[in-house]
Amino acid sequence: MAINEQAILNSELRWAAVVGGIIAVIVSAVLYAAIAMHVNPPSNREYVDPKTLHLSAEFTEANLGTRIDPDGRVVARLIATQFEFVPNCIVLPTNREVTLRFATPDVIHGILVTGTNVNTMVVPGYVAQVHTQFTKTGDLLMPCHEYCGLGHTQMIATVKVVPPEQFRPDAEGRAACGDAR
């Protein structure tokens, strides 16, 4: 064998340097997205009791859906339950920071909104929270993407993204799908 041991070691070390470079590129890309674009995975460590969720202040039926909170933020609150989202359709405006808050009274669910970076697990015991800004209008699908039981297949909601002039909350700040024109 004509290759000597040192030559082999040197070639492996050169390659290791290339590998180091690849790792550095990956790490840099993640850091850029995190710092320049404030992209974090959803990590809202906020507890809520699944067993009394329907009795709670924030997640009772009448308080669900899109609302402009007193501080001016657009917040949509949804329940993920076996086997549907409540409400089944929410309306949100484009070009404005919005926050979506999810809770579940029963099992693990998850959501994504097609065509966007909105994606989170919904775990009983926690309020799952996603911040985003929609740029395009349309009726987007928001399916449950984590197995939650035999009805998982049919668990889908709609996110209606409308231009700001069509987003007309009522006196209480609430906006529902039927209102958008």
Partner 1 sequence: MATLAETIPVPRSEPAISAGKLQVRRLVVAHVWVAIAAFAVACLLGVWQMWARSPLEAPAHTAANYFRSVTMHGVSMAYVLTTFFIMGFGYFTAETALKRPVPGLWLAWGAFWLGIAGVLMAALAIISGNASVLFTFYPPLTATVWFYVGLVLVVVASWVWCLIMIFAMQAWKSANPGQAVPLVMFATVANAVMWLWTTVGVATELLFQVIPAALGLNGMVDVGLSRTLFSWTLHAIVYFWLFPSYIAFYTMFPRAAGGRLYSDTMGRLAFILFIIYSLPVGLHHLLMDPEHSNGFKYLQTFLTALVSVPTLLTIFTITASAEVAGRMRGGTGTFGWIKTLPWGRPMVLATGLAFLMLFWGGGGGLINMSYGMNAMVHNTSWVTAHFHLIFGGTVVIMYFAIAYVMWPTLTGRSFPSMRPLNVQLWLWFIGMMVMTLPWHWTGLQGQWRRIAAFDYSNPLIASWGPWVIVSLIGGIILAVSALLFVWNLVTLHRSSSPRFAVVEVPYAEAVHPPGRLPASLNGFGLWNVIVAVLMLLAYGYPIAQFFIDPPPQAVVHRLH
Partner 2 sequence: MAEHPPSDQTPAGAPAEQAAVDRHWRRLALAAVGVAVAVGGLLGFVIIPAGQREHSHLSMDAAMRRAAGLEAGSPAHPQPPAAINSLPVSQVSWDPAIMQRLAAGNTARGAELAGQVCAACHGETGLSVTSAIPSLAGQTSYAIYKQLHDFRTGARVQPDMTAVAQSLAVGDLASIAAYYAAASQQYAALGMRDLSGETEIVRVAWEGDTRRRIPACMSCHTNGVGGPIETPALLGQNREYMAAQLNAYASGARKNDVYGRMRDISRRLTPHEREQLARYFQGTL
Binding site for partner 1 (CB under 8 A): 1, 3, 5, 8-9, 11-12, 15-16, 19, 22-23, 26-27, 29-30, 33-34, 39-51, 106-108, 110, 112-115, 117-129, 141, 143-153, 156
**Least distance in angstroms from the C-beta of 86 to partner 1:** 18
Strand runs (DSSP E) across 62-178, as ranges? 65-68, 74-81, 84-86, 89-93, 97-103, 109-112, 119-122, 128-133, 138-143, 156-162, 174-175
Q: Pairing between strand 156-162 and 138-143?
A: antiparallel
Of 68 and 127, nearer to partner 1 (C-beta) is 127
Of 2 and 17, nearer to partner 2 (C-beta) is 17
- Two tokens at 59? 């997640």
Of 99 and 169, nearer to partner 1 (C-beta) is 99
Cα distance from N-terminal residue to C-terminal residue, the chain: 78
**Residue 141 contact partner, candidates partner 1, partner 2, none, CB within 5 to 8 A by sort of partner:** partner 1
**Least distance in angstroms from the C-beta of 107 to partner 2:** 7
Residue 145 corresponds to which amino acid?
H
In 10 A of CB 146, how many CB atoms? Answer: 17
Residue 12 interacting with partner 2 (CB under 8 A)? no
CA gap 76, 67 in Å, rounded: 6
Contact 166, 177 (CB under 8 A): no
Residue of the chain from 73, 135, 139, 168 that contacts partner 2 (CB under 8 A): 73
| Residue given tokens 């390659």 in the structure block | 15
Residue 95 interacting with partner 2 (CB under 8 A)? no
Residues of the shown chain interacting with partner 2 in the complex, contacts defined by CB under 8 A: 27, 31, 34-36, 38-40, 42-46, 51-52, 54-55, 57-58, 60-63, 69-71, 73, 75, 79, 81-84, 86, 88, 97, 99, 101, 105-107, 127, 129, 131, 149-151, 153-156
